[in-house]
């Protein structure tokens, strides 16, 4: 009896290890947001598609909510990793590549995009390889861009952010690692503070910062709206992600595996755009219908005032990003 129980107990273990042996490659996909966001859902769909397409030869393990790494750490870990069979993939926001690419900073220029269709015009254009070109030298391979959405500003205080610069005066805002975002906040009259995404809710709740900028799905899923009084629908810049992997790991994969991963990513990217559009309306509505932060629309005149106040940021970063590239982006977007 003892022997039988022992054998029964060992059976699932044996199966488990057979399955582990069956996959030739493991990719740890690390991200910092919730699973029920446009990025979280796209990552899970991508994992399923790769599993089906490679018949289990490639296993993608998705780690949401900064469980494995924060975005700065993941890029370092990816660049340092030398395993040929276990790779790291991530989708940090475009702003978080500041240490690795000057050109990608273009995405952060305030009011570059009027809306998400402008973003897609750029992302789907032949300018994209120019925007990501520096990454290869840093050991990173760019795979695709995923949407979250246009950013809104939230604040804890007596009144919403609407005028410039008075409403920003004396207020501290959490931003991502972007130097352009830092300059933009200063031009508006506020004080920027760079913090990892994981720390934002607590920083807002404890008053370490007064406000932050983000897309609707992050404001909703991370409950920022519960510790903020107002959300201004500023749509002042874009929150999107660059899906990346290390050059070395990517180049070592057999061609058929690379094809299967690429096709799956293409499908996941298409779905991601739908998830993002949906989250934009649904998550906004859920916040509007709740009892916490009040959502405040902005008039054309108010938007124009913010745009004017932040315009000097463009000149400040023009040389760093590349003047010709900025001109080409503007031309593409019909400016």
Given the rule CB under 6 A, which residues bind ligand LMR?
32-33, 93, 148, 176, 197, 214, 218, 239
CA angle in degrees (0–180, nearest 5) for 220-225-227: 140
Nearest approach, Cβ of 84 to ligand LMR (angstroms)? 28
In this complex, which beta carbon is closest to ligand LMR, that of residue 176 or of residue 237?
A: 176
Compute the Cα dihedral for 211, 217, 222, 228 and give only its sign: positive
CA distances from 327 to 78, 107, 170, 266 (A): 33, 13, 35, 29
Nearest approach, Cβ of 193 to ligand LMR (angstroms)? 12
Q: How many Cα neighbours within 13 Å face the side chain of 293?
A: 32
CA distances from 13 to 7, 10, 25, 126 (A): 10, 5, 20, 50
Residue 58 · residue 23 · CB < 8 Å = yes
In this complex, which beta carbon is closest to ligand LMR, that of residue 203 or of residue 260?
A: 203
In this complex, which beta carbon is closest to ligand LMR, that of residue 185 or of residue 239?
A: 239
Site of tokens 């990816």: 78
Site of tokens 């900025």: 326
In this complex, which beta carbon is closest to ligand LMR, that of residue 183 or of residue 214?
A: 214
Whole-angstrom distance, CA of residue 241 vs CA of residue 261: 18
Nearest approach, Cβ of 174 to ligand LMR (angstroms)? 8
Nearest approach, Cβ of 255 to ligand LMR (angstroms)? 31
Nearest approach, Cβ of 175 to ligand LMR (angstroms)? 8
Nearest approach, Cβ of 324 to ligand LMR (angstroms)? 28
In this complex, which beta carbon is closest to ligand LMR, that of residue 239 or of residue 293?
A: 239
Whole-angstrom distance, CA of residue 149 vs CA of residue 171: 24
Distance of CA 131 to the CA centre of its chain: 16
In this complex, which beta carbon is closest to ligand LMR, that of residue 154 or of residue 176?
A: 176
SS3 state of residue 218: helix
Nearest approach, Cβ of 122 to ligand LMR (angstroms)? 19
Whole-angstrom distance, CA of residue 9 vs CA of residue 77: 37
Distance of CA 168 to the CA centre of its chain: 25
Nearest to 153 by CA among 68, 210, 96: 210
Nearest approach, Cβ of 82 to ligand LMR (angstroms)? 26
In this complex, which beta carbon is closest to ligand LMR, that of residue 47 or of residue 253?
A: 47
Site of tokens 């789907």: 124
In this complex, which beta carbon is closest to ligand LMR, that of residue 105 or of residue 218?
A: 218
């Amino acid at each position: 009896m003892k022997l039988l129980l022992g054998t029964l107990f060992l059976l699932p273990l044996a199966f488990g290890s057979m399955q582990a042996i069956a996959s030739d490659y493991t990719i740890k996909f690390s991200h910092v947001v919730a699973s029920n966001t446009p990025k979280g859902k796209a990552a899970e769909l991508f994992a399923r598609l790769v599993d089906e397409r490679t018949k289990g030869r490639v296993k993608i393990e998705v780690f949401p909510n900064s469980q494995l790494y924060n975005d700065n750490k993941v890029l370092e870990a990816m660049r340092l990793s030398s395993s040929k069979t276990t790779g790291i993939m991530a989708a940090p926001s475009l702003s978080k590549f500041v240490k690795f690419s000057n050109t990608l900073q273009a995405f952060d220029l305030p009011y570059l995009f009027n809306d998400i269709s402008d973003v897609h015009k750029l992302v789907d254009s032949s300018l994209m390889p120019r925007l990501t070109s520096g990454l290869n030298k840093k050991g990173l391979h760019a795979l695709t861009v995923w949407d979250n959405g246009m950013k809104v500003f939230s604040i804890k205080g007596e009144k919403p952010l609407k005028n410039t610069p008075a409403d920003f005066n004396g207020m501290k805002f959490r931003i991502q690692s972007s130097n352009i975002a830092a300059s933009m906040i200063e031009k508006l009259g506020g004080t920027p503070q760079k913090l990892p995404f994981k720390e934002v809710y607590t920083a807002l709740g404890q008053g370490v910062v007064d406000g932050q900028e983000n897309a609707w799905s992050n404001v909703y899923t991370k409950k920022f709206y519960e510790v903020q009084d107002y959300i201004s629908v500023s749509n002042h810049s874009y929150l999107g992600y660059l899906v990346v992997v290390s050059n070395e790991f990517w180049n070592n994969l057999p061609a058929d595996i690379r094809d299967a991963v690429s096709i799956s990513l293409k499908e996941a990217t298409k779905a991601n755009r739908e998830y993002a559009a949906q989250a934009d309306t649904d998550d906004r509505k859920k916040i509007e219908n709740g009892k916490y932060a009040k959502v405040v629309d902005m008039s054309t005149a108010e938007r124009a005032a913010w745009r004017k106040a932040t315009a000097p940021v463009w000149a400040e970063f023009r040389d760093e990003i590349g003047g010709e590239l900025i001109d080409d982006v503007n031309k593409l977007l019909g400016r």
